[in-house]
Amino acid sequence: MILAESGSFVGTPLVAHIFARFTAIPNYISFGAILGGFLGSSIMFIAARIRDKRKFVNKNYASRELIGDLAYFTPMAFILAVILYYPVVFFSSRYLLLRDVEVGVSAMIGQLGAFILLAICLNIYRVILKNKCGKEL
């Protein structure tokens, strides 16, 4: 999860800055921050998951197993991202942009707050999943 978030920390300000080159509208720049975070975290999460499984669990880790692992994690992560993470990033970065805070700083502050909330919620989900289903992520 930390590696996925590091990808998000790179993608969020990068894409927000790219959007800021083309528009000064805070809503669009905030959307760019969300898009960059999504792309960065998705790429890093999948790469880290494959690496960890191949290195520490099973050298022949197949794409079928990856899909099975993602089936437990992805629906809840997606739900939390839609109802919690991305709204926090969007509204907090938009709030800061409207108060003339620099694009990268506003995106990073929004993302940090969203990450803290997401980490708490996903860890609660992991505990529930382990206790109820015996499945570890």
Q: What local confidence, expressed as pLDDT, does residue 57 receive?
A: 65
Distance, CA of 40 to CA of 37 (rounded, Å): 5
Q: What local confidence, expressed as pLDDT, does residue 63 receive?
A: 66
Q: Tell me the H-state helices in the chain.
A: 2-22, 26-52, 63-80, 86-98, 103-133
Distance, CA of 3 to CA of 46 (rounded, Å): 10
Q: What local confidence, expressed as pLDDT, does residue 104 receive?
A: 85
Q: What local confidence, expressed as pLDDT, does residue 8 receive?
A: 82
| Prediction pTM value | 0.68
The pLDDT profile of the chain, 137 residues, written as one tens digit per residue, is 677 778 888 888 899 899 999 998 988 998 898 899 888 888 888 888 777 777 766 666 666 677 776 776 778 878 888 899 889 988 998 999 999 999 889 988 988 898 899 889 988 988 988 888 776 66
Domain ranges (residues) in the chain: 2-133
Q: What local confidence, expressed as pLDDT, does residue 77 receive?
A: 78
Distances (CA, A) of 111 to 22, 60, 93: 22, 35, 8
